[in-house]
Structure 1
């Protein structure tokens, strides 16, 4: 466990693992959050590419009305994949060093593991949410998974920050999320107060959802490891009142 946590801390120090951005799902006609013209309301065509000379596959987009926005999004997603590959290469180097020092008295050697995956949880209403997941195992009791989120405005290609969406409604979101965590992950929740739920742009994983926004929590952030990476959907009405 110490090795895994140490590796993850190193990754955080060398790159921006979490890029909280802002993408809005299902934008209703009377929504106070986003008002989109028919020309703006669109979906991206998402396809998969492989980072050269690596096992990492990541998404790219096409079919947008703005080629500039398309290029900006694809560049950002590619940079994220390259950062992930840097983490993979570091893990391989760490494994080589650790294995060289390993002795039979320590028991059988357990190979390190690195797995990169991604999801596209939202692609609608001129917004796109992408999550990169990195699973790392360094021989302990279990591996650890970290996430990086990208929430794009398909019209501009810009990343959207959570703070621009929930300004002034942080307390309402914290209270709602805390109650939902208690209901959905009963017996696993580790935090004792809604105030322990971070909504900071620098470390809050989140994506758009048809009902509002979905907060994604890292392992051990708010619940026991057995709960995985908890997810809570916060409806629009909670932060648009």
Structure 2
């Protein structure tokens, strides 16, 4: 059995205003404490915005329900909540994926995710492109990845040639490529497929 890898940093869960529906991370253990403080402050500010948005949506629920003349029993409750997952936390790197879920009527709710990837030595955020030594290496990997997705119309019927990986959340992994991409609902496939996570291709097959 392999020994567990040492974690790069400690990530704790906080609840904004003690609300279990609005969870956000706070990091400790980065080398640059000033940048770490700014990162944590940003996470808290985002949580504050989420908290306000949740209050708006719950207030709107009562307004919409009353306009329709329905009781709470007959009208599904609106929802808004956020949570995060630590996807990678070793080798001086940490990947955190924040996910927002909201429901404001209709057939189903919606999910949306964004990622935060930091070098824990420098405490700087790392873009997808910065994982590659050259622009050419990134462009090749991006082209290979997009082409593979476009080639599988059965699985990814909504994907098109304008798919831009620069805007795609990602997280580090221990896989061959070392990177997984997160595609939002409806971005490359229908709602029933959910959010899709695929490895970044490094070579074209």
State the TM-score, normalized to the length of structure 1: 0.69
- Aligned partner (choices 146, 157, 160) of residue 112 of structure 2: 146
Are positions 1:204 and 2:171 aligned together? no
Give the C-alpha shift of residue 224 in structure 1.
Answer: 1.1
Is the 8 Å Cα contact of residues 126 and 154 (structure 1) preserved in structure 2? yes
How far apart are 1:192 and its partner, in Å? 5.3
In 2, Cα distance between equivalents of 1:165 and 1:65: 20
Q: From 79, 83, 90, give the equivalent of 2:45.
A: 79
- Alpha-carbon distance change, 126 to 69 in structure 1, aligned in 2, over 3 angstroms: farther
Which of 142, 165, 175 aligns to 2:144? It is 175
Indicate the SS of the match to 1:52. helix
Write out aligned runs for 1:205-220 (5 A).
205-211=169-175, 212-220=178-186
Contact 1:188–1:226 (Cα < 8 Å) also in 2? no
Using structure 2 for the length normalisation, give the TM-score: 0.79
Alignment correspondent of 1:189: 156
Q: Is the 8 A contact 2:141 2:200 kept in 1?
A: no
TM superposition shift of 1:227: 0.9
SS at match of 1:222: coil
* Among 145, 152, 162, the residue aligned to 2:128: 162
Residue 50 in structure 1 maps to residue 15 in structure 2 = yes
After superposition, give the CA deviation of every residue in 1:35-60 in whole Å (9 maximum; x if it has no partner). xxxxxx96001222221243322221
- Structure 1 distance, partners of 2:34, 2:64, is 45
Q: Is the 8 A contact 1:73 1:158 kept in 2?
A: no
Give the drift of 1:80. Answer: 2.5
After superposition, the CA RMSD in angstroms is 2.7
**Larger relative CO (CA 8 A, sep 6+): 1 or 2?**
1
Shift of 1:206: 1.2
Take 1:83 and 1:125, find their aligned partners in 2: how far apart are those partners? 32
